[in-house]
Amino acid sequence: MSKPGDYAAVRRDIVAQLKKPDYDDGSAGPVFVRLAWHSSGTYDLDSDTGGSNGAGMRYEAEGGDPANAGLQYGRAFLEPVKEKNPWITYADLWTLAGAVAIEEMGGPKIEWKPGRTDLVDDSKVPPRGRLPDGAQGADHLRFIFNRMGFDDQEIVALAGGHNLGRCHIDRSGFEGPWVNNPTRFSNQFFKLLLKLQWKPRTLSNGVQQFNYFDPDAEEGDEPLMMLPTDISLITDPSFRQWVERYAEDKDLFFDHFAKVFAKLIELGIKRDEKGTIINTDNIKGGYVSAPKKSNTPTGPLKSQTGGDRARL
């Protein structure tokens, strides 16, 4: 067991959880990044509610939100880390795991600061419906991300998170990876958005997405995909200029992504000049490392979905 405050030990234990040969593309990294993003992306600037404090996904009100389907895998993969470092809060662990995963998958260094506390009950869990819907377009992206305090450039940089991981038909209803190497962070997502011919496709569940059908594909090759929201990044002129710049200049993208992801995981957090969190909950309650909600992922079984994705 590590000493309270030994975040370097937690980092090492997160790294040790990344390799998962029987899961998805062999890494827990992408689902850690999504967990960090969804635990922060509920923030509402006007009411100053939601955000990365609290780890509300331990409660059904937030954890059971269909927008968070599949994130139980990320949470369960982090349980061994929590067991070895019981002093860390879930809110810190989930955001740190996202930052560590990005770095370990070849992305930029993400500034991460500790001090988030865990909610002790579900009274402050943000309402559902604050996370983006991939079936929509540019107006929706602005509606959702402006609410958190992000502008067009930041929206496009953040959407570069889709260089990692994949869609699962039994989680979001969409299917497939965005890039050929979904466990390596890069600017490939932007390059492919501009370069390939994206054709609308309706899946057997009625969900519409975009796919590229490679004429040289071999049997069993999975076609690359884009969400309707991803395609809006090239049809909306203000978004598109950033897609073009990030496709051309990987260093610029890495720099902007590091800044915007660090901002994302600080949403709803207020610090004094020493970096100490001064939100009322944190001052009153201290650094509350709350108990976990459930030990097992609660997603549909492989046999229930016919999916080929291994369960935990």
Indicate which residues carry an active-site annotation: 38, 178
C-beta of 17 vs 289, nearer to ligand HEM: 17
What is the Cα–Cα distance from 297 to 166, expressed in whole angstroms?
18
* Residue 199 DSSP one-character state: E
The one segment of 25-33, 104-112, 113-121, 284-292 that binds ligand HEM by CB under 6 A: 25-33
* Residue 273 DSSP one-character state: T
- Number of H helices and E strands in the chain, helices first, is 14, 5
Q: What is the SS3 assignment for 283?
A: helix
What is the Cα–Cα distance from 284 to 210, expressed in whole angstroms?
48
C-beta of 31 vs 119, nearer to ligand HEM: 31
* Residue 275 DSSP one-character state: S
Question: Out of 132, 137, 223, 307, which residue is the one contacting ligand HEM (CB under 6 A)?
Answer: 132
The two three-digit tokens of residue 29, written as one number = 């990294």
C-beta of 91 vs 288, nearer to ligand HEM: 91
Closest distance of CB 57 from ligand HEM, Å: 14
CA angle 161-267-90, nearest 5°?
A: 85
Greatest CA separation for the chain: 61
The one segment of 46-54, 112-120, 154-162, 199-207 that binds ligand HEM by CB under 6 A: 154-162
Q: Write the binding mask 215 to 254 for ligand HEM: x where contact by CB under 6 A, - elsewhere.
A: ------------x-x-------------------------
Verify binding: residue 30, ligand HEM, rule CB under 6 A.
yes
What is the Cα–Cα distance from 41 to 56, expressed in whole angstroms?
12
C-beta of 37 vs 242, nearer to ligand HEM: 37
Within residues 267-306, the interface with ligand HEM by CB under 6 A covers none
CB 92 within 8 A of CB 14: no
CB 84 within 8 A of CB 78: no
How many residues make contact with ligand HEM (CB under 6 A)? 24
C-beta of 241 vs 276, nearer to ligand HEM: 241
Question: Out of 13, 37, 62, 103, which residue is the one contacting ligand HEM (CB under 6 A)?
Answer: 37
Residues at the site binding ligand HEM, with contacts judged by CB under 6 A = 30-31, 33-34, 37, 70, 132, 134, 141, 158-159, 161-162, 164-168, 171-172, 174, 227, 229, 261
